[in-house]
Amino acid sequence: MSDDILSHRASVQGIVAPGNQEIDQVPEIQSLRPDCLSEYIGQAKVVDTLKIAVEAALFRQEPIEHVLFHGPPGLGKTTLAHIIAHEMGGRLTVTSGPALEKGGDLIGILTHLEETDVLFVDEIHRTPKAVEEFLYPAMEDFAVDFIFDKGIHARSHRYRLNRFTLVGATTRVGLLSAPLRDRFGLFRNLDFYRLEDLVHIIKRSAAILSVTINDEAAQSLAERSRGTPRIVNRLLKRVRDYAQVRGDGKVDNPAVEAALELEGIDSMGLTRLDRSYLKTIIDYYHCGPVGIEAIAATLQEEADTLVDVVEPYLLKIGMVIRSSSGRKASEKACRHLGYAMQE
Ligand code: ADE
């Protein structure tokens, strides 16, 4: 492992839970995550934007403007929030939209933030409306407005907060209300990673985990990771286990093939759920078009899971086509799944 990586690992910032208690980081999960923008692989434009924002904010001794990341799961939204906190020398408080059930849950967190701290709100589109309304003055004026009494006796009291940075993450940017969206200064989409970036991430992670992996195996793992660093790192660990127990501990192509077969991952990186989704459209709905609710009901899955987790990559690689009349399985999907095509 390089000294560089070791020194960053030693200086990882504490993550703070919603009650503002430092929670121990699980060393292995955290250690594969880069702590600095200079270590971050891929998403070059996003990283460049953040480098400029961080440097300018540090120069002016101000917190960086609120940031919204949107895109499919596993592409680095949480990691980037962690990095922003680290680069700014602040702490990271992690919560999520659905966890903020009442205004008090959010106020409890906001009043404990210090200057340069980062509040990360995952799935921010699922924040209840009543809680979201506390976010507006908090983001814009660094203040919370308390309303006492009702009707003509209503009085409000403004409580000042320390200046902080809100990092919001969402898989569904379209569901964000305009007032919330407009309060973010930086607004960035995270896209699926290029193969060469995934290979680079695999090699970096393998070095941290002290795993020997050859180029061929790194390439085939990258090709079967749905363009997603979180998947790359998870599969690398499964292949490492396999190589240690059934092989000589080194990760090569036969170990990748065998371990991924056990995981139910096919030659294109599709999971069992991806294949069931496509087969449902093909078998039950004659290749479509069919609405998402019908597919979800047939699969007995949440429609949200299909929209957030399954569809983005299948759309990206042209396995599914979305139109106003519903979803259609493409010819490529039929061929991949071994259906005979009519001439
Ligand atoms: N681990 C997970 N995502 C990463 C990234 N984008 N760069 C480096 N290491 C990573």
What band does 31 get if pLDDT is binned at 50, 70 and 90?
Answer: confident
Query: Can you state the angle between helices 195-208 and 229-246, rounded to 10 degrees?
Result: 50
C-alpha 79 to ligand 1 mean position (Å) = 8
291 plus 185 within the same structural domain: no
C-alpha 32 to ligand 1 mean position (Å) = 7
pLDDT in tens, 41-58: 999 999 999 999 999 999
Q: Is residue 311 part of a domain?
A: yes
CATH number at residue 298: 1.10.10.10
Atom of ligand 1 nearest to the CA of 43: 6
184 plus 301 within the same structural domain: no
Its sign, for the CA torsion 322, 327, 331, 334, is positive
What band does 10 get if pLDDT is binned at 50, 70 and 90?
Answer: very low
In terms of average pLDDT, the best of 5-9, 139-143, 338-342 is 139-143
181 plus 213 within the same structural domain: no
13 plus 162 within the same structural domain: yes
Q: Is 182 helix (H, G, I), strand (E, B) or coil?
A: coil
Domain boundary among 263, 281, 296: 263
CA 50 to chain centre: 17
Q: Is residue 110 part of a domain?
A: yes
- Percent share of the chain, pLDDT over 70: 91
Domain boundary among 263, 282, 316: 263
Mutate to test the pocket of ligand 1, among 2, 12, 40 (most ligand atoms within 8 A of CB): 40
**Which amino acids are annotated catalytic?**
77-78, 122, 171, 230
> What six digits make up the tokens of 262?
């056990």
Q: Is residue 342 part of a domain?
A: no
Residue 247: Cβ-neighbour burial (10 angstroms; 0-12, 13-18, 19+): middle
How many other C-beta atoms lie within 10 A of the C-beta of residue 95?
A: 21
164 plus 221 within the same structural domain: no
Q: Tell the residue nearest (CA) to atom 6 of ligand 1.
A: 41
C-alpha 201 to ligand 1 mean position (Å) = 6
Is residue 32 lining ligand 1, measured as CB closer than 6 Å?
yes
CATH number at residue 237: 1.10.8.60
Atom of ligand 1 nearest to the CA of 32: 1
Task: State the Cα torsion 189-192-195-198 to the nearest 10°.
Answer: 80
Residue 147 is predicted with a pLDDT of 82
55 plus 104 within the same structural domain: yes
Q: Is the predicted pLDDT of residue 17 greater than 50, yes or no?
A: no
Contact 142, 158 (CB under 8 A): no
CATH number at residue 39: 3.40.50.300
Residue 342 is predicted with a pLDDT of 63
C-alpha 72 to ligand 1 mean position (Å) = 15
Is residue 41 lining ligand 1, measured as CB closer than 6 Å?
yes
Q: Is residue 200 part of a domain?
A: yes
Domain boundary among 240, 263, 286: 263
300 plus 314 within the same structural domain: yes
244 plus 328 within the same structural domain: no
Q: Is residue 49 part of a domain?
A: yes
pLDDT in tens, 212-230: 999 999 999 999 999 999 9
122 plus 169 within the same structural domain: yes
Q: Tell the residue nearest (CA) to atom 1 of ligand 1.
A: 33
- CA pair distance 334, 340, nearest whole angstrom: 8
Mutate to test the pocket of ligand 1, among 5, 201, 231 (most ligand atoms within 8 A of CB): 201
Range 111-136 average pLDDT:
96
Query: Mean pLDDT, the chain, as a whole number?
Result: 91
What residue numbers bound the domain in which 204 lies?
Answer: 195-263
Is residue 40 lining ligand 1, measured as CB closer than 6 Å?
yes
Q: Is residue 64 part of a domain?
A: yes
Q: Is the predicted pLDDT of residue 166 greater than 60, yes or no?
A: yes
Residue 164 is predicted with a pLDDT of 98
Residue 20 is predicted with a pLDDT of 40
Number of domains in the chain: 3
